Structure 1
Amino acid sequence: MLITLRENLEMAEKGNYAVGAFNAPTIESARAALEAAEDLKAPLILAHAEVHNEIMPLQFIGPILVEMAKNARVPVTVHLDHGSSFKLIEQAIDIGFTSVMIDASHLPFEENVKEVKKVVTYAKARNVSVEAELGVMTDSKIGGGESYDGASKEREDNDGIYTDPETAKAFVAETAIDALAAAFGTVHGIYLEEPKLDFDRLEQIYQGTGKPIVMHGGSGLREEDYTQTINAGVRKINYYSYAAKAGAEAVKQYVNHSKHIFYHDITTVAKKAMKQNYQRAIEIFMN
């Protein structure tokens, strides 16, 4: 069943859980995410990240994700992640996405607000939810830079990169977004060191804005960290890197120990491993 992000997060708010937002740059990754959610009877957010356009362009994968969501046995939101241009956001909405993220966080506050309000006006008229981001970025990533291989390293000047609660309150009030991606210590990719999560700041942002908080860079945390972030107001967790890593490791084992190798078998092996990883993530997010 295809639903909006707002509907999905309203249910999460009532149940005090977080919905997993899983990137789907391939058919196998999309199926892994959906099968994991259906097996556990859990809601899901299928996401297409703009950065994955080089792997699978939006015009190809987008209609497939929408069709999968419509036929799913669980509530599914189809979401554009880190959209940087109004043109791409229009394209996603025209395809049938029920949620878009406008990432103008690299701009000064007033310009960020202006870009977000433009998207909100367009999206809300079409019953599409909007997520936006607030925090200082390096290479458009929350709280740190992302290297070519996806490995992220947290920056040291935390006060300068984390989202300010008062600024967040003003940002949400001016833009009327449905969800806020806040920087409080997580980073994209594979952690090179243990993250320093500012839970007090997160709770202040949640209480001040009154909106569901989105955690980007949701892979690789301890189970107790997930629980604490959810209790502090996180309702959407972007999770992908460690699932993709699990798929790659499974393929590596298969290739190293198989006499005859066919490409379709590799995709099946990867899907199975990613599904198992997603299932564990969902169990933690929904607990």
Structure 2
Amino acid sequence: MLVTLKELLIEADKGNYAVGAFNCPTLESVRGVVEAAEELRAPIILAHAEVHNAIIPLEIMGPILVEFAQKASVPVAVHLDHGTNLEMVKQAIDIGFTSVMIDASHKGYEENIQIVKEVVEYAHKQNVSVEAELGMMTSSGLGGEETYKEKSHASENAANYYTDPSIAKDFVEKTNIDALAASFGTVHGIYVTKPNLDFDRLERIYENIQKPVVMHGGSGLSEEEYKTVINRGVRKINYYSYAAKAGAYAVKEYLEKEENPFYHDLTVVAKETIKQDIKKAISIFSNK
């Protein structure tokens, strides 16, 4: 059942849980994610990251995501992750996406606001939800995610990019976005050191904006950390790198023991492993 991000996050806010947003750059990942959600009877967000256009273009993967969402037996939003311009956002909406993220966080504050307002005006007219980012998500440089910001930042300087709670309130009021991607200590990609999450900052952001908070770089945290951020206002968790890594390692293990492998067998191995990893994530995000 295809729904908007706003619809999903309103229910998540009522129930004090988070909805998982899973980037799906391959058919195996889409199938694994949807099967996991249906088996658990849980809502999900199928996402296409602009950075993954190098793997498969939006015009190919987008319609596949929309079709899977329409046919799913659970609520599913289809989301553009880290869109960087209005043209990409329009393309996603034309394909049938029900949610878009416009990421102008690398711009100056006022320019960020103006870009986001333009996207909100366009998207809301078509009943499409909008997520935007304030502050900057850093990258570990592992997992291919560093291209979100075109460069990685040293972890010791990461606090310089955290979201300011007072500015977040002004940003949300001026842009009328449906969800805010906030920076409070997570990073894109694979964690090379233990994350240092600023829970107090997150709580103040949520209290100030009175809108759902999105956590990017959601892979690799402990179950306790997931539950803590959910209890402090996170309603959407982006999760990709560790599921993709699990699929890759399962294929590697299969190849090491199988003397006569076929490519189609690798896709089955990857899909099943991704599915099980996603089921674990969804179960934790339910905050039960």
Does structure 1 retain, via aligned residues, the 8 Å contact 2:140–2:189? no
Tell me by how many angstroms 1:50 deviates. 0.3
Please list every run of at least 4 consecutive aligned residues from structure 1 whose deviation after the TM superposition is greater than 6 angstroms.
none
Aligned partner of residue 42 in structure 1, secondary structure: coil
Give TM-score, length-normalised by structure 1: 0.96
Aligned to 2:115: 115
Q: RMSD in angstroms over aligned alpha carbons?
A: 1.3
Aligned to 2:141: 146
What does the per-residue CA deviation read over 1:239-282, in whole Å, with 9 as the maximum and x for residues that have no partner? 00000000000000111100111111101100000000000000
Q: Which amino acid aligns with 1:19?
A: V
The answer on 1:135 being equivalent to 2:135 is yes
CA distance in 2, matches of 1:250, 1:147: 19
Q: How does 1:31-70 map to 2 (within 5 A)?
A: 31-70=31-70
Aligned to 1:93: 93
Change in 2 beyond 3 A, CA 1:41/1:254: same
Aligned to 1:139: none
Tell me by how many angstroms 1:143 deviates. 3.0
CA distance in 1, matches of 2:139, 2:49: 18
Structure 1, unpaired ranges of 5+:
137-141
Does structure 1 retain, via aligned residues, the 8 Å contact 2:215–2:238? yes
Does structure 2 retain, via aligned residues, the 8 Å contact 1:206–1:233? yes
Q: Which amino acid aligns with 1:99?
A: S
Tell me by how many angstroms 1:149 deviates. 4.5
Q: How does 1:147-186 map to 2 (within 5 A)?
A: 147=142, 149-150=144-145, 155-186=155-186
Aligned to 1:258: 258
CA distance in 2, matches of 1:154, 1:214: 22
Q: Which amino acid aligns with 1:146?
A: G
Task: State the number of aligned residues.
Answer: 282
Aligned to 2:149: none
Give TM-score, length-normalised by structure 2: 0.95
Aligned partner of residue 131 in structure 1, secondary structure: strand
Tell me by how many angstroms 1:235 deviates. 0.2
The answer on 1:244 being equivalent to 2:239 is no
Change in 2 beyond 3 A, CA 1:99/1:82: same
Structure 2, unpaired ranges of 5+:
147-151
CA distance in 1, matches of 2:196, 2:228: 13
Does structure 2 retain, via aligned residues, the 8 Å contact 1:169–1:209? yes
